[in-house]
Amino acid sequence: GSPSSCRPPDLALNPGSFPQVADLLFARWGLPIQTYTSTGEPSTEEEALVALAAALPPADPKHRFIMALRRFRKQRQARSTYVRRCTVEEPAGIFVYPDGRVRSTWNAHVVPSGRLSSSAPGLQNMPKRLRRMYAAAPGHVLVYADQNALELRCAAALAGDGARYVRAAALF
């Protein structure tokens, strides 16, 4: 569920408000402060939430709230970074071409290792579940190429060592 569905019934809370979340976790619930922000406030960043959740039993409503808050933040970030910018309806649909399609820009000389990278939008960093929102144009196919251990795989293939190729692929 969402963080708001896990909150106590008498508490109005905006899960996107760091001060409100900090007030709930540390002032009202008395949970231990894990770290502080650069301004000296108790942190409600991901690292602090992970530590707080780990210290609570999974059945505890506070644990469930923290886990729901983490999911909410991840989904909000994904929506802001990938979904909103790739829709025609949103004014921020900056990656949409006039024909309504989204095309990434491929960069060959940006990454020091020489691998390809993409930007506008950066498809390599996109969560796999969101990649499904992309579809090939009629009559075309969409190819996903995993570049993990690309050098190892190429070296094994060039050496004719199929066993090493399989082991290299299995590492990732």
Summarize pLDDT for 38-94 with one digit per residue, the tens: 999 999 999 999 999 999 999 999 999 999 999 999 988 888 777 766 665 555 556
Nearest to 103 by CA among 76, 65, 51, 140: 140
- Token match 């020489």: residue? 114
Q: Is the CB of residue 95 less than 8 Å from the CB of residue 120?
A: yes
List all residues 6 or more positions away from 118 whose beta carbon is below 8 Å from its beta carbon. 104, 105, 106, 107, 124
pLDDT at residue number 96: 73
Q: Which residues contact 158 (CB under 8 A, 6 or more apart)?
A: none
Over residues 28-41, mean pLDDT? 95
Position 22 scores a pLDDT of 96
pLDDT band per the 50, 70, 90 thresholds, residue 140: confident
Q: Is the pLDDT assigned to residue 167 strictly greater than 70? A: no
What pLDDT score does 101 carry?
Answer: 76
